[in-house]
Amino acid sequence: MSKRVLLLVSNDIHTDQRVDKTCKTLLAQGFQVTVLGRMRAKSKPISREYQVERLKLLFDKGPLFYLELNLRFFFRLMKKDWDIVHVNDLDTLLAGYIAYINLKDKELVYDSHEYFTEVPELQGRFAKAVWLFLEETIFPKLKHVYTVSASIAKVYKAKYNVEVGLVRNVPPYIAWKKEGSRTSLGLPEGKRILILQGAGINVSRGAEEAVLAMKELSEDYVLLLLGGGDVFEKLKSLVKLYRLQERVIFKERMPFEELMQHTLHADMGLTLDKGDNLNYEYALPNKLFDYIAAGIPVLSGPTIEAREMIKEYQIGKSVEEITPQAIAQTIELMFSDPTQVDVWKQNTIAAYKILNWEKESQGIIDIYKDLG
């Protein structure tokens, strides 16, 4: 009988590409897969090849949300209808670990999606001490761990003396083709479209500076902000304040296939994390790989992982500081050489053949070979 895997995630699963890809990889390896997430007021119906359970919670955010979430997860785990619990990020680790140590015949896998205790939202708050205590208590006891960037893996190995694997959040290898036109997507024809996408367009991710850079650029350029995050409303206020409504387009989170169509129709991808906190400094943003898959050149900020990725694969440029002026000047410089732009585009094609889920998921497969 194939082993049963129960994956825990704190979101509603609908747009979580990493968890979806992980589930499909495990299905292909012969495991029975169930994902346990949350149901929110605006959650959309979901249908997947694997089983999905979503819990309706009383609290939507804050300490009581995380407490309720982990309690509900723990009681669900105590049904014992699983062999391996696969925990996604620190905010679900407590429930998975307590169930694991209480049920001796079970296994635990931990996927750290980011350097959780160093996210900017936690800095200077008591909550950071709570999450750090939880991490320091549990992490040294873990046996099967992997994360999203080499820098984060290195930090965890040094800090907790635990082997940490690397599985970057790259997209599946698909021969993407543009469907329809820009007009059909609600995008302007005849403009150079700069795209900044992501489910977490939050503070310190350079979105405000990207908007203000539009004041410095000619009307040939349009900025597409696609996704959501803490600063989205602030960005809309900036657009209104500086009368950039014709220059900046906002679009909400959407399924991956739709997101990729918008990215395919763009001319350049922006990933502008500032690196003023360790989580972003060590991050390897998902959007970077989506831009590569779409075959468009990339402009990044000065953070370690993004800068090294661009340098290694020669797919664009990095700015040394995140200011509207530096962003605008670098964009103009990049587009001033059409031959170089074509070279960057060709290099993304070569990079995509290496940086894809079919190759990257081998790290998960290797872990589960030991468990299955």
Residues 82 and 154 in one domain: yes
Distance in angstroms (rounded) separating the CA atoms of residues 114 and 189:
37
Per residue in 137-191, pLDDT (tens digit) is: 999 999 999 999 999 999 999 999 999 999 999 999 999 999 999 999 999 999 9
pLDDT per residue over 29-87, tens digit each? 999 999 999 999 889 899 999 999 999 999 999 999 999 999 999 999 999 999 999 99
Residue 230 lies in a domain: yes
Question: Does residue 176 belong to any structural domain of this protein?
Answer: no
Q: Which residues pair with 56 in a beta bridge?
A: 39
The predicted-structure confidence for 85-123, as pLDDT tens digits, reads as follows 999 999 999 999 999 999 989 999 999 999 999 988 888
Domain annotation covers residue 178: no
Distance, in Å, from the CA atom of 178 to the CA atom of 68, rounded to the nearest integer, reads 43
pLDDT digits (tens, 9 = 90+) for 297-342: 999 999 999 999 999 999 999 999 999 999 999 999 999 999 999 9
243-275 CB burial, b ≥16 within 10 A, e <16: ebeebbbebeeeeeeebbbbbbbbbbbbbbbbb
Q: Do 260 and 123 reside in the same domain of the chain?
A: no
In the predicted structure, residue 244 carries a pLDDT above the cut 90: yes
Domain co-membership, 221 together with 163: no
Sheet holding 164-166, edge to edge: 51-56, 32-39, 4-8, 84-88, 107-112, 145-147, 164-166
The sign of the torsion formed by the CA atoms of 8, 11, 15, 16 equals negative
Whether residue 254 is found in the same domain as residue 138 = no
Same domain, 187 and 152: no
Q: Determine how many CB atoms are found less than 10 A away from the CB of residue 139.
A: 20
Q: Is residue 27 part of a domain?
A: yes
DSSP 225-269: EEE--TTHHHHHHHHHHTT-TTTEEEEE---HHHHHHHHHT-SEE
Domain that holds residue 287: 183-352
Residues 105 and 157 in one domain: yes
In this prediction the pTM is 0.90
pLDDT of residue 124: 86
**Is there a single domain that holds both residue 288 and residue 220?**
yes
Residues 122 and 224 in one domain: no
- Tell me, what's the pLDDT at 15? 81
Per the CB < 8 A criterion, the answer to whether 44 and 59 are in contact is: no
Same domain, 203 and 120: no
pLDDT at 372 over 80: no
Pairing type for strands 268-271 and 145-147 reads unpaired
Query: Residue 130 is inside which H or E element, if any?
Result: helix 126-138
The verdict on 105 and 85 lying in the same domain is: yes
pLDDT value of residue 198: 86
In a domain, 175, yes or no: no
Tell me the CATH number at 333: 3.40.50.2000
Query: What would the two tokens of residue 44 be?
Result: 């959309």
177: in domain: no
Contacts by residues 48-55 (CB-CB < 8 Å, ≥ 24 positions apart): 48/20, 48/23, 49/23, 49/24, 50/23, 50/24, 52/13, 54/12, 54/13
Residue 256 shares a structural domain with residue 282 = yes
Q: Compute the distance between CA of residue 298 and CA of residue 289 in angstroms, rounded to an integer.
A: 10
**Token pair of 273, please?**
């994390």
pLDDT range class, residue 275, cuts 50, 70, 90? confident
Q: Looking at the structure, do residues 135 and 112 belong to the same domain, yes or no?
A: yes
Helix (H) or strand (E) holding 324: helix 324-335
pLDDT, one tens digit per residue, over 184-228 is 999 999 999 999 998 888 888 999 999 999 999 999 999 999 998
Domains in the chain, number: 2
Cα–Cα distance, 26 to 88 (Å, whole number): 15
What's the CA gap between 214 and 235, in Å, rounded?
Answer: 12
With respect to residue 293, please indicate whether it lies within any of the assigned structural domains. yes
Q: Is residue 160 part of a domain?
A: yes
The answer to which of 21-25, 277-281, 330-334 has the lowest mean pLDDT is: 277-281
Is the predicted pLDDT of residue 249 greater than 80, yes or no?
yes
Q: Which residues pair with 147 in a beta bridge?
A: 112, 166
